[in-house]
Structure 1
Amino acid sequence: MRLAFMGTPDFAVPGLSELIAAGHEIAAVYTQPPRPAGRGHKLRKSPIHELAESFGLEVRTPENFKSAEDKQAFQALDLDLAVVIAYGLILPKAILESPRLGCINLHGSLLPRWRGAAPVQRAIMAGDTTTGVQLMQMERGLDTGPILLSETVEILETDTSGSLHDKLSHIGANMLPRALAALSRDGLVPTTQATDGVTYAEKITPEEARIDWRQPAAMLDCHIRGLSPFPGAWFDLTDSDGKSVRCKALMSQAHDRMSAQKPGTIIEADTRLIVACGEGAVSLKKLQRSGKSVQAVDEFLRGFPLSPGQMLA
């Protein structure tokens, strides 16, 4: 097929790689424009931008599709299909209807649950035990189109949003060649999404990343793993000089140890770091102090000793 690929972050990289390997003609790759990043705020190209350039593909980076010029340039590609994975722009009707077979989107949840921007994080944060990846025929609503192909994935108690992200992106990428082959012979039957069970995966805000020790341990564990590695669930602790230090918890496990101590109180801090919650306790496995690298908890405690009874804020 003659395709346009539209995507931006790492999640989209395996999908573009699979389409190239399958021999499809990629007429153009659309991605978000380079953005300032890092301490020097230098412009950084997206992962898809870099991959596309490495294969010598044409890369286009419109800020949006409001201009007639951008719409006409897309329509002039004379496409069979556009494949969209985490592109980051809302596509207008003129774009959605331009390719012969329309536009399909690879989404990291089992719709209609977790429509929107952060489905992987929200699934773990909510304590879901299953999720999946789906190919959807795009329409003007937010992730409302009919489903073309699905794969269900178990969410493990050891999964973080990072590990689940990688699983879903590779499973989804492997679906693409099969789906496109079936589409070319009208072999996929669209299934309308259910009207009940709709939830929205809103973007993660900095405020909600802060750990609230008053939550039950099981909920807090999901919160920590759902925000790992980015942006990272965080709390404050006090160093030996009495200064407040920001710390991220990047891996945890709900602990069956019960405690009558106030939420946020350290119960154990030798080779393990166990903290009282509103119900039960949580064992913190990986930590990262501000400006430092990620450390396993025993290594962290050797360099930053903590004591039972100390409070985490």
Structure 2
Amino acid sequence: MRIVFAGTPETALPSLRALIASRHEVAAVVTRPDARAGRGRTLVDSPVAQLATEHGIEVLKPAKPSDPEFLGRLREIAPDCCPIVAYGALIRREALDVPQYGWVNLHFSVLPSWRGAAPVQRSIMAGDEVTGASVFSLTEGLDEGPVLGVITERIRPEDTAGTLLSRLADEGARLLVDALDHIEDGDIGVQQQDDELVSLAPKLTTDDARITWNRPAFAIDRHVRGCTPAPGAWTELGDLRVKIEPLTIAEESTLAPGQVQFGKREVRVGTATTDVVLGTVVPHGKKPMAAADWGRGLADPPGSFSGPVPA
């Protein structure tokens, strides 16, 4: 089957590699335009564009997938199907109608749970025990098309959004190739989504990532892991802003919510239940460091972190 793959970040690379190695022909890739990165703010190709170039695959970088020039080229290529993984832009009807078998999207949740841009992060933050990945037929609605295949994955106690997404990207790549195989063979099964079971996963903002210390320790732990590596859970100590990486829940409660205890070997913070012990922190504008090292470098720090009070 002749395909055009759409994707942009590293998360999409396992799928592109699997498709290149599959029986299908990757005629081209669609990716977001070059973005500025690094200290020099130079324009760089997306990870998907770089991998495609290494394999001699045509790269299309429309400002919008509705651009007439892009649509014209897509029609010239005449793909049978367009698999899409973390592309980063909405595909409108004029593009959806080009391939015979439509566009099929790999989404990192068990649909209809967690439709939206941050399914892995929201799943961890919600305390889910199991998540997964779904391949579905893309429509103009938000992740609402019929499901073609699903896998499940247990969320481990130590999982961050980064580690979990990495596993799902690898497992999901195999699911995506399998779905395309069955589409070509004409024996793909279809399951309509139950709209009564929908939950939404909007993109996490910086404000969303701020830690609320008067929540239970288990909720703070999930919050931090769900925000790692991006956008990064954060808090303030006086006028010092610091990102908090995954922490450990202590067995006892000795501190008030948000109260900080700086020790020679550890930094503890109080919550609504038991204390938590900070692991690695990232002070604003600095590199990650052990929390105890950070604490020793502070001159007369305040005794409590600040944070929003939940409604």
Match of 2:303 in 1: 310
Residue of structure 1 aligned with 2:248, choices 246, 253, 256: 253
* 1:80-136 alpha-carbon deviations (Å, 9 max, x no partner): 110100111111112112112111000001111111111111111111111101111
Match of 2:273 in 1: 279
Letter in 1 for 2:176: L
DSSP 3-state at the match of 1:94: helix
Distance 1:120 1:13 in 2: 17
Shift of residue 267 of structure 1?
A: 4.1
Letter in 1 for 2:164: L
Q: For residues 99 and 134 of structure 1, do their structure 2 counterparts lie closer, same or farther at Cα, with a shift above 3 Å needed?
A: same
Match of 1:266 in 2: 260
Shift of residue 254 of structure 1?
A: 3.0
- Where do residues 52-91 of structure 1 align in structure 2 (5 Å cutoff)? 52-91=52-91
DSSP 3-state at the match of 1:196: helix
Q: TM-score, normalised by structure 2?
A: 0.92
Q: Which runs of 4+ in 1 moved over 6 A?
A: none
Distance 1:54 1:269 in 2: 51
Letter in 2 for 1:284: L
Kindly indicate whether residue 267 of structure 2 is the aligned counterpart of residue 288 of structure 1. no
Distance 1:222 1:91 in 2: 33
Q: For residues 305 and 173 of structure 1, do their structure 2 counterparts lie closer, same or farther at Cα, with a shift above 3 Å needed?
A: farther
Q: For residues 138 and 266 of structure 1, do their structure 2 counterparts lie closer, same or farther at Cα, with a shift above 3 Å needed?
A: same
Match of 2:309 in 1: none
Distance 2:176 2:73 in 1: 25
DSSP 3-state at the match of 1:280: coil
Match of 2:216 in 1: 216
Tell me which moved more, 277-286 or 158-167: 277-286
* 1:203-246 alpha-carbon deviations (Å, 9 max, x no partner): 111112221111221111111110111111111235xxxxx332
Ranges in structure 1 where 5+ consecutive residues have no aligned partner: 239-243
Shift of residue 299 of structure 1?
A: 4.7
Distance 1:269 1:217 in 2: 20
Shift of residue 303 of structure 1?
A: 5.0
Match of 1:241 in 2: none
Match of 2:188 in 1: 188
Matched residues, number: 306
Shift of residue 49 of structure 1?
A: 1.1
* 1:44-99 alpha-carbon deviations (Å, 9 max, x no partner): 22111111111111111111133333222212211111010011111111211211
Distance 2:19 2:66 in 1: 28
Distance 2:22 2:293 in 1: 45
Q: For residues 6 and 265 of structure 1, do their structure 2 counterparts lie closer, same or farther at Cα, with a shift above 3 Å needed?
A: same
Distance 1:306 1:85 in 2: 49
Match of 2:141 in 1: 141
Match of 1:229 in 2: 229
- Where do residues 86-235 of structure 1 align in structure 2 (5 Å cutoff)? 86-235=86-235
Letter in 1 for 2:146: P
Distance 1:213 1:262 in 2: 9
Would you tell me which structure has more strand in proportion to its own residues? Answer: 1
Any conservation in 1 of the 2:33–2:61 contact (CA below 8 Å)?
A: yes
Letter in 1 for 2:285: G
Any conservation in 2 of the 1:271–1:301 contact (CA below 8 Å)?
A: no
Letter in 2 for 1:247: V
Ranges in structure 2 where 5+ consecutive residues have no aligned partner: 307-311
Any conservation in 2 of the 1:235–1:246 contact (CA below 8 Å)?
A: yes
Distance 1:127 1:50 in 2: 36
Letter in 2 for 1:53: T
Match of 1:33 in 2: 33
